[in-house]
Chain A
Amino acid sequence: MARRRRYGSGGFRPVLTLLLLAVAGGIAVLGVLLYDYWRDLRYPSQEAIGGIVGRMTDPEFIERGRYLVAAGDCAACHTVEGGRPFAGGRGLPTPFGTIHAPNITPDQQTGIGGWSNREFVRALHKGLGSEGQFLYPAFPYTSYTKLSLEDALAIKAYLFSLDPVVQRAPPNTLEFPFDQRPLMAFWNLLFLDDQRFQPEPGREAAWNRGAYLVEALGHCGDCHTPRNLLQARSGNKFAGATIENWQAYNITPADNAGIGGWSDAEIEHYLATGIAPGHARASGPMAEVVQYSTSRLTDDDRAAIAAYLRSVPAIARGADQPRNGWGGPAADVVALRGTVPAREGAAEGARLFVGNCASCHGWTGGGVGAPAEGGYPSLYHNGNVGGDSVSNLLLVMLNGVARSYGDQQVFMPAFAELLDDVQIAALANYVLRQFGDPANATVTPEDVAELRQTPPLMSGQR
């Protein structure tokens, strides 16, 4: 009664007032959005671009663009499995449907050959397409917005120096209302920090270069920072996230959960080769990042990335030992020796390990030829086996590893067609009990079946 009286005593004037305020506010927001949109369509100014366009056919400027395109790993999304580089078509699954990366070769009809300099820069900085339509943030413009105008145009200069490829990306399959592009205006209002990168004057040049590479070009946070319900990056920067079933690990300087235990040299070596000896070896999408992006950077730029990553806030997330701290040598081969294996029947984990894994990873699981770079790594004290998500281990077992850097190739065969779901689950649980965190040894055949649906990587792996 008291509550009703309180409402009643004020009459309906406050309600009306609130309603009017809301309408006014809505109109104001819409006005702001419309104004922003009107302004963004005219961005960047011809004056700003004018000083740069003259250099866009300069080989040095194009070379700079090539380097930036590698640093931004544009190829990763804009190339389909086995396809021509940058010709698009790769499907990027989101919770709302699949978005297909477009062709960014300079073909007039199917690529970006008809785009003006302004339209190109606008896409990177504002997330607007050539016809002014809103792009989806699967394209990491919330990172690329930090790019300098010069770098943005260098990227265009390089892309326009490529041979045009005629190839149209399949249409997106987003569900209503997510297929309504104008809604992205609200999303941008909330999540697009429309600012170019500004160096911090108190920091060293290397740190600032690292920040630029990580935050703008490398868009590391697009995988390594968890996303909120609206698929924007959350506040737990670089704390690790799951993307397309792969676990992108915590890359904050937390001692156990992150890379706090890695030396600068180890971080740099990892970016150059995919291997941080004793800590981690890249697989899945990160293997592609190493192959197509970080291995192609200069030593100085890799050092800059390491320096910057060291400085971001550590997020511990409760890990009490590093992911490469689990497990120990196996001895099951001794117990199995001389026994008569069942001709068919249950496939126990130890038998599957000895038959499928031990010939490369050693009968103890301790590796063969590692830590030499072409060698086969230890399974215990192995960052992929000891990670808190088992999906990376399962995806590597199913689909193997194939990455290269320079003329080195790192390879593990795929077992997806050699072992069934029950066998993969039994083997994974054995590996987790013996070489990883035994608490994770709860993999079911259903888990395996689900992970088999993971979309393929550019290398043709899943």
Chain B
Amino acid sequence: MSDTSADVVVVGSGVAGGIVAHELAKAGASVLILEAGPWLSRWRVVERFRNSPSKADYMAPYLSQPYAPHPEYAPPNGYLIEKGNVDYAAQYIRAVGGTTWHWAAACWRLLPSDFRLRSLFDVGRDWPFAYDALESYYLRAEADLGVSGPDDVDLGSPRSAPYPMKQIPLSWMDQRFAEVLNGNGFSVVPEPVARNSRPYDGRPTCCGNNNCMPICPIAAQYSGEVHAVKAMRAGARLIASAVVYRIEAGEGGRIAAVHYKDPNGASSRVTGTTFVLAANGIETPKLMLISADDRFPRGIANSSDMVGRNLMDHPGTGVTFLAGEDLWPGRGPIEMTSVVNFRDGTFRAEYAAKKLHLSNSAAVRKVTQDILSRGVIGPELEREIRLRSARTLSINSFHEILPLPENRVLPSSERRDALGIPYPEIHYDVDEYVQRSAAHTHETYAQIADLMGGTEVEFDDAFAPNNHIMGTTIMGEDPVNSVVDGDCRTYDHDNLFVASSSVMPTAGSVNCTLTIAALAHRLADRLRKRA
């Protein structure tokens, strides 16, 4: 067993860990990042994607490692052991840079009301602080990730400065969609995205490869690797393929060390002054729970029994239809506009807020598969491919799920990975608060299809996962029902912090990455002041 040490030990090198490490390394701290997965090389991921027959499976180009598995779905590797009524089926990537290797780069801020769900609507929880306390960190996060967004549209989250880059020009389809819906009482807005509308931070302008997921082939889209590398340039050390499997509490409950294994199973102990867990909303609580010892039999930071609980996502439903005109989805990035008029309102006392978004993924592959499977050949095949590629519209949704203690992550007692570390076991269900909203979403889809001259309307009402893993080390003012306080510090361990969407007390109805980055900046600020 070899020993190493640092002022700040960060577990995980995604957006959250990368930003905390970068900020603290810049401030002169000795920082060590432990990343369970390997380094990836973008061009090899691109190559695997281009050559893969399973183009729709965003995990396919990212190889799960036996020593640090992550979920795979084509074919399924069963890494997430589903025990609930609804499959959680999250995708995430264990590699340097984390899951932002594949995302649509949506960089929404939460709404001020998302921070006060309990006070305003008597459901869910309140955050320990208000939107205003996070605004300046949102701003920094937007500069860090490089966000292109609309400056002439009110997105409902007050901003103190313009977006770093102007918005990416909308595709014809997105323009038409906005035009039709906005004329009929909807609010369709351009989506702010961490994707370059001009050269930014040494990365090029988006040129519309239209495969943001599973991989932006040119790094026009931000990925967490950016800050892992920046942290290293600022002096941080990063050990890849270092799977942390134990958090060791010492004197007075303070964390003394973390232990990691290399791919061969050799163990190392890392001591430090401050520990930051940034290993996502499934691996972080799992690590806390498997670190149980005699003094902390429920696991690290778990006196509240809330570690792993309150698991949230944005359960989605969808609709696909043939529009009444040629709109040619697929020009530009895969998602550009959202319907935002259901994100807030008094209805939130009764049913879930939601955001709907129009897919701009090219439909050619899917419609071709469908037509071929119907046995169509010859000139009709080409005609049909053309027609359906030009007119197939697909809309999806994010519903706000409430933090429910029964939705939870546990270390599996059945299956372990190559290093002997338990797989995650998921207990997940979608309650009536979401179901009532989904029923309204279904009606709304029908209305939108009608407005767009839609035919062959197909609803997909089954709740689909959206990989926004939140709530499992929940933040709150009361240590009885919260894992971390308003500074993202664990109540049970003075020097253990969490940088992750797992601290979020409410999910809102938007992608959580920008909030992760803003919280990471806020945490880095707190840690700098402590030092």
- Residue positions of A touching B, CB distance < 8 A: 333, 336-341, 343, 351-352, 354-356, 359-360, 368-369, 374, 376, 402, 409, 411-414, 418-419
* Choice from A354, A376, A414 contacting B47 with Cβ under 8 Å: A354
Are A359 and B218 touching (Cβ within 8 A)? yes
Which one, A355, A409, A411, contacts B46 given CB within 8 A? A355
Q: How far is the CB of A274 from chain B (nearest CB, A)?
A: 14
Q: Which residues of B contact A351 (CB under 8 A)?
A: 47
**A343 / chain B contacts, CB cutoff of 8 Å:** 63
> Which of these binds chain A: B177-185, B196-204, B283-291?
B196-204
- Which residue in B41, B44, B53, B218 is a CB contact (below 8 Å) of A360? B218
Given A355-B44, A411-B199, A413-B202, A376 contacting B207 (CB threshold 8 A) = yes
- Closest CB-CB distance, B327 to chain A, in whole Å? 21
Asked whether A340 and B51 contact (CB < 8 A) given A355-B44, A355-B46, A368-B207, the answer is yes
- Given A360-B218, A374-B205, check contact A354 B50 (CB 8 Å): yes
Most chain A CB within 10 A, of B43, B63, B199, is at: B43
Please, which residues of chain B bring their CB within 8 A of the CB of A352?
Answer: 43
Least CB distance, B362 to chain A, in whole angstroms = 15
Tell me which residues across on chain B come within 8 A of A402, comparing CB atoms: 199
Q: Mark B190-226, 1 if CB is under 8 A from A, else 0.
A: 0000000011001111010100000001110000000
- The smallest beta-carbon distance between B70 and chain A, in angstroms, is 17
What is the bound-complex CA distance between A418 and B39, given in angstroms? 12
Asked if residues B207 and A341 are in contact (CB atoms below 8 Å), the reply is no
Complex: how many Å from CA A419 to CA B48?
Answer: 17
* Complex interface: chain B residues within 8 A of A359 (CB): 46, 207, 209, 217-218
From B216, which residue of chain A is reached at the shortest CB distance? A359
Is the Cβ of A338 less than 8 Å from the Cβ of B43?
A: no
B202: which of A354, A369, A414 is its contact (CB, 8 Å)?
Answer: A414
- Chain A residues, CB < 8 A from B44: 341, 355
- The closest CB in chain A to the CB of B217 belongs to A359
Asked if A341 contacts B48 (CB within 8 A), the reply is yes
Contact with A along B28-66 (1 / 0, CB 8 A): 000000000000011110111011010000000001000
Question: How many residues of chain B have a CB within 8 Å of chain A?
Answer: 22
Q: Which residue of A lies closest to B42 (CB)?
A: A418
Chain A, Cβ-Cβ closest to B49:
A355
Shortest A158–chain B CB gap in Å is 30
Q: B43 contacts which of A337, A355, A368, A376 (Cβ < 8 Å)?
A: A355
Known: A352-B43, A402-B199, A412-B204. A339 touches B51 (CB 8 A): yes
CB of A41 to closest CB in B, whole Å: 49
Closest beta carbon of chain A to B73's beta carbon, Å:
19
**Residues on the A chain within 8 Å of B218, using CB:** 359-360, 413
Q: Are the C-beta atoms of A413 and B51 separated by less than 8 Å?
A: no
Given the known interface contacts A340-B51, A341-B44, A341-B51, the answer about A413 and B207 at a Cβ–Cβ threshold of 8 Å is: no
Chain B interface mostly: loop
Residues of B within 8 A of A411 (CB): 199, 204-205
Q: B203 contacts A413, CB within 8 Å?
A: yes
A418 pairs with B41, CB closer than 8 A: yes
Question: B51 and A409: CB pair below 8 A?
Answer: no
The distance from the CB of A32 to the nearest CB of chain B, in whole angstroms, is 55
**In the complex, what residues of A have CB within 8 A of residue B43's CB?**
352, 355-356, 418-419
12 more A-B residue pairs beyond the given contacts A341-B51, A418-B41, A418-B42, with a C-beta to C-beta distance below 8 A: A336-B51, A338-B51, A351-B47, A355-B42, A359-B209, A360-B204, A360-B207, A360-B218, A368-B207, A413-B202, A413-B204, A419-B43
CB contact between B207 and one of A336, A369, A409 (< 8 Å): that residue: A369
Provide a sorted-by-A list of 16 A–B residue pairs whose CB atoms are within 8 angstroms: A337-B50, A351-B47, A355-B44, A355-B46, A355-B50, A356-B43, A359-B46, A359-B209, A359-B217, A360-B218, A368-B207, A376-B207, A409-B198, A411-B204, A412-B204, A413-B218
B41 & A338 in contact (Cβ 8 Å cutoff): no
Known: A338-B53, A418-B42. A355 touches B47 (CB 8 A): yes
Contacting residues, chain B, for A376 (C-beta < 8 A): 207
Q: How far in angstroms is the closest Cβ of chain B from A358?
A: 8
Which residues on the A side are within 8 Å of B48 (C-beta)?
341
Q: Which of B63, B199, B202, B209 has the most chain A CB atoms inside 10 A of its CB?
A: B199
CB distance from A173 to the nearest CB of B (A): 27
B contacts, CB < 8 Å to A: 41-44, 46-48, 50-51, 53, 63, 198-199, 202-205, 207, 209, 217-219
CB distance from B157 to the nearest CB of A (A): 28
Measured between beta carbons, the chain A residues less than 8 angstroms from B217 are 359
Within the complex, what minimum Cβ distance (angstroms) separates A261 from chain B? 29
**How distant is the Cα of A25 from the Cα of B41 in the complex, in angstroms?**
69
A376 to B206, CA, bound (A): 11
Contact between chains at B219 and A413 (CB < 8 Å): yes
Complex alpha-carbon distance, A53 and B53, angstroms:
76
Q: Please measure, in the bound complex, the distance between the C-alpha atom of A320 and the C-alpha atom of B151, giving whole angstroms.
A: 54
Taking CB atoms, residues of chain B closer than 8 Å to A374 are 205
Closest CB in chain B relative to A260 CB, distance in Å: 33
Expressed in whole angstroms, the minimum distance between the Cβ of A316 and any Cβ of chain B is 37
Report the minimum CB–CB distance from A103 to chain B (whole Å). 28
> How far, in angstroms, from A337 to B145 measured CA to CA in the complex?
33
Cα separation A254 to B476 with both chains bound (whole Å): 75
Bound: A340/B63 CA distance, A: 13
Q: What is the CB-to-nearest-CB distance from A405 to chain B, in angstroms, rounded to a whole number?
A: 13
Q: Residues of B contacting A409 with CB < 8 Å?
A: 198-199, 205
Which one of B203, B204, B217 has the highest number of Cβ atoms from chain A below 10 Å of its Cβ? B204
Q: Which residues of A contact B53 (CB under 8 A)?
A: 338
- The complex places the Cα of A302 from the Cα of B44 at a distance, in Å, of 45
4 A-B pairs with the lowest CB-CB distances in the bound complex, closest first? A355-B43, A411-B199, A359-B217, A355-B47
**Which of A368, A411, A412 has the most CB atoms of chain B within a 10 A radius of its CB?**
A411
Interface centre among A338, A412, A413 (most CB of B within 10 A): A413
Q: Which residue of B lies closest to A417 (CB)?
A: B229
Q: In the complex, what's the smallest C-beta–C-beta distance from A229 to chain B, in angstroms?
A: 40
A368 to B43, CA, bound (A): 18
CA distance A411 to B196 in the complex (A): 12
In the bound complex, do residue A337 and residue B51 qualify as a contact, i.e. CB atoms below 8 Å apart?
A: yes
Select from chain A the residue with minimum beta-carbon distance to B211: A359
Contact residues in A for B198 (Cβ distance below 8 Å): 409
Which A residues are CB-close (under 8 A) to B207? 359-360, 368-369, 376
**Complex: how many Å from CA A369 to CA B331?**
13
CA distance A370 to B45 in the complex (A): 26
B203's closest neighbor in chain A, by CB?
A: A413
Residue of A at shortest CB range from B196? Answer: A411
Q: Which residues of A contact B202 (CB under 8 A)?
A: 413-414
- Bound CA–CA A160/B17 (angstroms): 48
Nearest CB in chain A: distance from B55 CB, A: 12
| Contact call B205/A333, Cβ cutoff below 8 A | no
B228 to chain A, nearest CB (A): 13
- In the bound complex, CA of A418 to CA of B209 (Å): 20
Residues of A within 8 A of B41 (CB): 418
Q: Once the chains are docked, how many angstroms separate the CA of A340 from the CA of B44?
A: 12
Kindly list chain B residues whose C-beta atoms are within 8 Å of the C-beta of A340.
Answer: 51
Q: How many Å from the CB of B486 to the closest CB on chain A?
A: 38
Q: Which residue of B lies closest to A352 (CB)?
A: B43
Least CB separation from A343: chain B residue: B63
Among residues of A, the one whose C-beta sits closest to the C-beta of B219 is A413
Minimum distance in angstroms from A287 CB to a CB of chain B: 13
What is the CA–CA distance of A147 and B50 in the complex, to the nearest angstrom?
58
Q: A341 with B47: in contact, given A359-B218, A369-B207 (CB under 8 Å)?
A: yes
Q: Shortest Cβ distance from A195 into chain B, in angstroms? A: 44
CA distance in complex: A336, B44 (Å):
13
CB contacts (< 8 Å) of A412 on chain B: these are: 204
Closest Cβ of chain B to A291, distance in Å, is: 13
In the bound assembly, the distance between CA atoms of A354 and B202 in angstroms comes to 21
A411–B53 CA distance with the chains assembled, in angstroms: 32
Which residues on B sit within 8 Å (CB–CB) of A341?
44, 47-48, 51
Residue of B nearest to A356 (CB): B43
B451 to chain A, nearest CB (A): 33
CB distance from A431 to the nearest CB of B (A): 15
A294 to B53, CA, bound (A): 50
CA distance A352 to B209 in the complex (A): 18
